[in-house]
Amino acid sequence: MSCLQKEIHLSPKKRGFHLVTREILEQLPELAQFSVGLAHIFICHTSASLTLNENADPDVRVDFESHFNEYVPENAPYYVHTIEGPDDMPAHIKASLLGSSVTVPVTNGRFNVGTWQGVYLCEHRNNGGSRKLIVTIYGERNSQ
């Protein structure tokens, strides 16, 4: 059994749900060294989250954003934490609902996900900036 941990950075994204699988893989060439394992991807922020979902139709990501904005609105009269702007407290709630990590199987040096699955960065702030991820891979390395 072997382990690798790497910090990677996602480029700043506007508020919304963004497919970032390719951006992660471009910064993770070490993945090719693993024949089988698990990749744990953790986001080091409290106002953005990660999830795994549809990677083909961009309308899905638009619908996610619309639903979450309805489900967790800005300017709710009961919010106390408002000093960082109207998008901040809802961003924390959305991030807690979706979660701070995803775990993806690794097979033959690649993420072993469904045909229509991809990793989303769920950016809940209007101006979230670059986001830091910690990727930890546990598994068997290729024998060479």
pLDDT value at residue 143:
84
- Residue indicated by tokens 């954003």: 65
Q: What is the CA radius of gyration of the chain?
A: 16
- SS3 string of 74-137? CCCCCCCCCCCCCCHHHHHHHHHHHCCEEEEEEECCEECCCCCEEEEEEEEEEECCCEEEEEEE
Domain that holds residue 115: 2-141
The per-residue pLDDT string of the chain (144 residues; one tens digit each, 9 = 90 and over) reads 999 999 999 999 999 999 999 999 999 999 999 999 999 999 999 999 999 999 999 999 999 999 999 999 999 999 999 999 999 999 999 999 999 999 999 999 999 999 999 999 999 999 999 999 999 999 999 986
Task: Supply the pTM of this predicted model.
Answer: 0.96
pLDDT value at residue 144:
65
Q: What's the CATH code of the domain at 26?
A: 2.60.120.460
Overall number of domains in the chain: 1
